[in-house]
Amino acid sequence: MTQQLYWNDTYLFNASANLLEVGTTGETDFVVLDATIFYPQGGGQPCDTGSISTANSTFEVTDVRMVSGKVMHYGKWTGDKLEAGTGVDLSINKERRILNSRIHTAGHLLDNVVKDLGLDWVPGKGYHFPSGPYVEYAGVVPADKRPEVLLKIQEGLNGATEQATPILVEMVDYDEVAGKCGGVCPDYLPVGKEARIVSINGLGCPCAGTHVNNTSEIGTVKITKITYKKNIVRVSYSLDK
């Protein structure tokens, strides 16, 4: 099993590891490592890109996915294809990682603001890609109330990002998840298995993604629009680059 180093340090951009598997699926080369700093796409967050290399060979990583419990690094070799057991150096695109982490943490902060405003919305799908991020909620928002709600959410986000509230990331026993997540244990979590919980101001959510250290590192968040369809409220946002 690959050690997921990105879980412990968002700002770990370089590391060393050993190749466990080297192969090809279809026309695409892949490698599996004993440890990785590359985040695999999932949870609404895009993957990391970068390189896996030695002095004489480089594997350019263009896609990373979690497949049957394995972190699969897909890409292309420059130089000789290396063999399993080889020690390699890992390097990820720093700017991409930081931006993705800021966007993802902004989505969690949005959940906090929605809760603090007392809106009767239940968080659902989150899309934390640079191209039009949003969070969807099960709930209702009348058309004539949307401008007012948008303004209140914006004000809440402005205040939160001006502070440096820590982002707490921890592994929690299954029986403690509900207490960390507003009294509800999400039904998609495996029963009896510990979960990784990301919390802001005491409100947590199961999450495998990468996050900044505190809310001030998110930067400026702008609510671009609020839409409503079939009892789903979508709050779209953007970040300053």
d(CA 69, CA 44): 18
Beta strand 35-36 pairing with 3-4:
parallel
pLDDT at 241 over 80: no
What proportion of the chain, given as a percentage, has pLDDT over 70? 100
More confident residue, 190 or 109: 109
Give CA angle at 205 (202, 206), nearest 5°: 135
For 227, half-sphere exposure in the C-beta direction (CA atoms, 13 angstrom radius) is: 9
Q: What is the pLDDT of residue 62?
A: 98
Q: Compute the average pLDDT of residues 67-73.
A: 95
Model pTM score: 0.95
Arithmetic mean of pLDDT over the chain: 96
Q: What is the pLDDT of residue 188?
A: 87
Contact 96, 193 (CB under 8 A): no
Give CA angle at 221 (219, 227), nearest 5°: 165
Each residue's pLDDT tens digit, 8-44: 999 999 999 999 999 999 889 999 999 999 999 999 9
Each residue's pLDDT tens digit, 152-170: 999 999 999 999 999 999 9
Each residue's pLDDT tens digit, 179-222: 998 888 888 889 999 999 999 999 999 999 999 999 999 999 99
Task: Look at residues 234, 230, 171 and name the one whose alpha carbon lies nearest to residue 204.
Answer: 171
d(CA 81, CA 78): 8
Q: What is the pLDDT of residue 184?
A: 85
Tokens of 123: 């968080």
